[in-house]
């Protein structure tokens, strides 16, 4: 696969990351309420961190991973991606705090899951969230992921040490079932 899979939803554009996104990434990830829920983002977040982020997540081998900038009305508000696509596909996402609880990440991740599970035909996708991240866990469950257990993870934006995480897995059938349930819920 050589062409980056740009995705569109009713209100969002999911596009490739660009070097020009660095200032916006720094602006959004200065918020420790966001970075403390991420494994690899430090706090404070610097321009150098954004450059490393972009080197890591700008389009490369699309068979290994795909990472999208999430745009709302032409402005980057977060990111969603999946790595390790040929081994154990793993989903990750983040959103600017100003946009929490507005359905933006549900819309973005639904489209990414549609693409990965139904177009790319991945057999399953793994996701995890820190145990104290109720918002991400609720979103993950709403999307159709099944809770598979607990583990531990690190966050560069928290004090040193391991923190409990919740682990989830989704299959194409789980995703289709959740989408059908959501459509029925909206129709009522």
The model's pLDDT over 131-148, given as tens digits with 9 standing for 90+, comes to 999 999 999 999 999 999
Q: Enter the DSSP assignment of 119.
A: I
Question: Can you give the pLDDT at residue 2?
Answer: 65
As a whole number of Å, the CA-based R_g of the chain is 16
Give the residues of the chain that fall short of pLDDT 70.
Answer: 1-2
The model's pLDDT over 79-89, given as tens digits with 9 standing for 90+, comes to 999 999 989 99
Question: Can you give the pLDDT at residue 62?
Answer: 86
Residue 102 CA to residue 104 CA, distance in Å, equals 6
Structure tokens at 121: 């035909």
Encode burial over 68-79: b for 16+ CB neighbours within 10 A, e otherwise: bbbbbeeebbbb
What structural domains does the chain harbor?
Answer: 7-187 (3.40.630.30)
pTM, to two decimals: 0.94
Q: Which residues contact 44 (CB under 8 A, 6 or more apart)?
A: 30
Count CA atoms within 13 Å of residue 159 on its CB side.
0
In 10 A of CB 86, how many CB atoms?
A: 10
């Amino acid at each position: 696969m050589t062409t980056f899979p740009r995705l569109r939803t009713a209100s969002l554009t999911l596009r490739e990351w660009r070097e020009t996104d660095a200032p916006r990434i720094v602006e959004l990830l200065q918020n420790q309420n966001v970075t403390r829920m991420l494994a690899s983002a430090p706090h404070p977040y610097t321009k150098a961190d954004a450059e490393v982020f972009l080197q890591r997540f700008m389009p490369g081998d699309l068979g290994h991973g795909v990472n999208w900038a999430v745009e709302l009305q032409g402005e980057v508000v977060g990111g969603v991606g999946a790595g390790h696509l040929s081994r154990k596909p793993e989903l990750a996402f983040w959103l600017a705090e100003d946009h929490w609880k507005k359905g933006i990440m549900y819309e973005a991740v639904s489209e990414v899951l549609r693409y990965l599970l139904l177009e790319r035909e991945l057999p399953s996708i793994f996701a995890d969230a820190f145990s104290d991240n109720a918002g991400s866990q609720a979103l993950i469950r709403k999307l159709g992921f099944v809770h598979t257990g607990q583990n531990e993870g690190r966050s560069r934006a928290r004090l040193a040490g391991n923190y409990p995480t919740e682990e989830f897995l989704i299959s194409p059938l789980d995703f289709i079932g959740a989408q059908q349930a959501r459509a029925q819920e909206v129709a009522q």
